Structure 1
Amino acid sequence: MAVHRTKGLQRSSPEVKKLVADAISLAASGSQIEDRFWEERLNARLMRLLKSQNQNVIDAALDQTFRINTVAFEVLADIAETLAESMKVEDEGQEWDVLLLAMPIVAHTRYQIPSEPLPVNMVESTAQAIHSLIAATDTRLAIVPWLYSIDQMPHSHCQTRILTEALASAAISGKDVKLELRDMSETIAVLADPRFIIAALSAPSGSPIFKWQEESPARQERGVSLIGWQNAMQDPIASLLPGCEFELLLPEAYFTNCRLADKHVRPLSIRAAVNFLESALGILPAGLSCVVGAFGQEQADEYRISFSAKGSAEVMYGVIWPLYDRESVASDALNDLSDDESPIKKICDALHDAGVEDVFRHAMLFDPEFCDDCGAPLCPDRSGEAVHAEMPGDAPSQQPLFH
């Protein structure tokens, strides 16, 4: 998946040191000429690592730059992502630019969100909508016939590069996508989660790849493309996701849209949890009590939200609100609501919007503990302990599958 923030300290190797030094130099550059010099150096180093599948070095360099120079982290992450999700390919004397696309569907439900093969008519509908509403003239497209969950997506730059290469040849040649899709990992059942359709879009090098890059009269603004995309895909996606509410985001570059979908799903996770508890236990939102705590080792990497019946200390359900990009939170501001853009303010707003009035915020940083038996993340209770969320004994043993 997209790199948001890396975890843990890793031993620095010569390759890591070179990447870090070049990224810091690029971040400090004062001219485009110098920018290009450092970019070419980083491109060459990162491409060697991608080809050799050496993800550990990339992760270690990102970890170090994140800790010491956030601007260097941004430029290093941007170049690594660009090389993983795009490429140039020559075919029969023509050079093509290829971009890996993610088409996010941010869904929530009281039941279960499917992840499965895409029917032929769904692939055809998606291709038609892409060509008519998103892609520039003279582009070519290859769509993976699978509705991906986040668990099934490539989890590194190296894996993403492999997928980009596989789809690039299919897009340019017009042949079927040849990927092994029979052994997809199982999807963790959650009430709010993004789904993705993945594709590669190719254009002759130097030509526009999206409609909003073209000149008039072919040019179409992003907002117009988004509305058209949502209208065209509403019914086809609804047939794939029965019992689900969803929002369609604009098809865009892979890493950008992975992050955007992750952020969009966070408040929906809270609303879906409230709806589920009302459906399963008959507890109205006003009858719920929530405890919010920041979790991480040296800094907050996520917030965990516990749900209890008002007046009860027993945690019934938990939701994770992960932090991305530059959403770092100072240790003395973990429960500070004064900043409207702070994660804790957004969490509390989402809870209040869902009808939950009783919200307790911890000021401490919890260790990111998990259950030794089942691996479930432990959630904060009001007393400051991280505990296992347990539904009452008379609650439904599992979420019904509505599909």
Structure 2
Amino acid sequence: MAVYRSKTSQRSSPEADRLVADAISLAASGSRIEDEFWELRLLERLARLLKSQNQNVIDAALDQTFKINTVAFEVLADNAETLAESLTLEYEGQSWDALLIAMPIVAHTRYQIPSGALPVQVIEATALALQRSIAATDTRLAIVPWLYSIDQMPHSHCQTRILLDALSTAAVSASEMKLEMRGMSETIAVLADPRFIIAVIAAPSSQPLFRWQAETPSRQERGVSLVEWQAAMHEPIASLFPGCEFNLLLPEAYFTNCRLADKQVRPLSIRAAVNFLESALSIIPAGLSCVVGAFGEEQADEYRLAFSMKGSGDVVYGVIWPLYDREHVANDALNDVSNDESPIKEICDALRDAGIEDVFRHAVLFAPELCDDCGAPLFPDRQGEVVHAEMPEDTPTQQPLFH
């Protein structure tokens, strides 16, 4: 996907070591001219790896820098993302800059969030709204005719670059996209999730891609573009999302918007879970308890939230709050809510906003265990055991559990 977390050791190689060395050198550079030297070397190495589809080397280098130098990790991650989501190409003697963009729809429901092929009228509405509200003058577009779930998105820099190449060619040449949409993975049924429309926007090299890059009088601020985008797309998206509440984010660069959508859906996951339990168990939110614990191998990669009926130790439902590469929680502060920007503080605020008053926070790091039988994540109870979330046997049939 669009985020990276170090979870397993990647085998080092000379190519990975050189990437790490260049990233560390770029991070330590003290001048712009030295920056350009190291950046060019780093980009050339990354470009060769992307062309040869050698994702393992990139992952190994990211893993090493994540552990030893967080600044170098940011440098390497940003440059890998840049090459995966943007390029310059030539067409009929003209040089074009192309950028892969994501248009997130953050949704929650008590029913089902759709995905799959986009109707022609929605594609046309999307193109028109992009041209009128987002894209600068003289840009060209190519839109994938598919509404993506997270499970269906490109899951690596190399896969993202393949999609970028295909869409960029289609955009600048106005030709048919060469994409195989059959064989898409199944979408996991959850109650709060982002969906994405993906496109490429291309402009003559060194010219603006977006309206907020343009000079006056064509310039339009991001906030104005967002309002216009949401107004233009509300009806087409509402027709696709019956029974769902949703929010449209500003179309932006692929990796940035994937992270933003993933983060925005987390508090909605809590609200959707509480709404589901309120309906399924005929209970008010104040009648629920929540136990929160951090999970990871050596550091917190996610928090798992276990819901119970107040007064009962049985975990009836579970929600996962993932952490992303720019979020780090020290192992001695896993349950510390004194920092307003900490994930656990945000989780507790979201639980309170959803009406949950009884919240217990574990201070230890749990191993990220899964159920041996079904593969579902296990959730912490108040005693510190990790257990399977099980709805009461007499509960009416509802949507699948929100793992």
- Could you tell me the TM-score, scaled by structure 2's length? 0.98
Q: CA deviation at 1:398?
A: 3.8
- Equivalent residue, structure 2, for 1:23: 23
Structure 1 unaligned blocks of 5 or more: none
Given residue 30 of structure 1, which amino acid in structure 2 is its aligned partner? G
Which amino acid letter does the alignment assign opposite residue 309 of structure 1? M
Q: 1:224 aligns to what?
A: 224
Answer yes or no: is 1:306 the counterpart of 2:303.
no
Give the root-mean-square deviation of aligned CA atoms: 0.9
Corresponding position of 1:374? 374
Matching residue of 2:141: 141
| Aligned equivalent of 2:276 | 276
Is contact 2:106–2:193 with CA below 8 Å preserved after alignment? yes
Partner of 1:185: 185
Q: Distance in 2 between matches of 1:154 and 1:326?
A: 20
Q: Does structure 2 conserve the Cα–Cα contact (< 8 Å) formed by 1:27 and 1:71?
A: yes
State the shift of 1:13 in Å.
0.7
Please list the CA deviations of residues 109-149 of structure 1 after superposition, one character each: whole Å capped at 9, or x if unmatched. Answer: 01110111100000000000000000000000000001000
Q: Tell me the equivalent position of 1:53.
A: 53
CA distance in 2, matches of 1:46, 1:372: 39
> Which residue in the other structure is 1:5 paired with?
5
> 1:3-402, aligned counterparts within 5 Å?
3-399=3-399
Matched residues, number: 400
Contact 1:106–1:195 (8 Å) recurs in 2: yes
Secondary structure of the equivalent of 1:201?
Answer: strand
The CA distance in 2 between the partners of 1:178 and 1:360, in whole Å, is: 51
For structure 2, which runs of at least 5 residues remain unmatched after alignment? none
Query: Is the 2:302–2:323 Cα contact (8 Å) retained in structure 1?
Result: yes
Distance in 2 between the 1:328 and 1:95 partners?
41
Q: C-alpha offsets along residues 183-212 of structure 1, whole Å, 9 cap, x if unaligned?
A: 211001111000000001000001000000
Greater CA deviation, 3-12 or 383-392?
A: 3-12
CA distance in 2, matches of 1:228, 1:19: 42
Separation of aligned partners in 1, 2:22 and 2:3: 19
Cα deviation per residue 1:249-302 (whole Å; 9 max; x = unaligned)? 000000000000000000000000000111111111000000000000000000
- What CA distance in whole angstroms lies between the structure 2 residues aligned with 1:260 and 1:89? 28
Amino acid at match of 1:265: V
C-alpha distance in 2 between matches for 1:4 and 1:242? 33
Q: Distance in 2 between matches of 1:180 and 1:60?
A: 29
CA offset at residue 12 of structure 1?
A: 1.2
Answer yes or no: is the 8 Å Cα contact 1:3–1:77 preserved in 2: no
- State which drifts further: 364-373 or 171-180: 171-180
Shift of 1:173: 1.2
What is the TM-score when the length of structure 1 is the normalising length? Answer: 0.98
Q: Give the letter aligned to residue 101 of structure 2.
A: L
**CA distance, structure 1, for counterparts of residue 391 and residue 195 of structure 2:** 27
Q: SS of the residue aligned with 1:224?
A: helix
The separation in 2 between residues aligned to 1:376 and 1:314, in whole angstroms, is 17
What is the letter of the counterpart of residue 188 of structure 2? I
Q: Identity rate of aligned residues, in percent?
A: 78
SS of the residue 2:236 aligns to: helix
Assess if the C-alpha contact under 8 Å between 1:85 and 1:100 holds in 2: yes
Q: Distance in 2 between matches of 1:210 and 1:396?
A: 49
Displacement after TM superposition at 1:182 (Å) = 2.1
CA shift, 1:11, in A, is 2.0
**What is the rounded CA distance, in whole Å, between the counterparts of 2:326 and 2:155 in structure 1?**
20
Write the distance in 1 (CA, Å) between the matches of 2:167 and 2:398.
37
- 1:317 deviates by 0.5
Q: Work out whether residues 280 and 398 of structure 2, in 8 Å CA contact, stay in contact via their aligned partners in 1.
A: no
Q: Deviations over 1:3-32 (max 9, x none)?
A: 332211122110111000000000000111
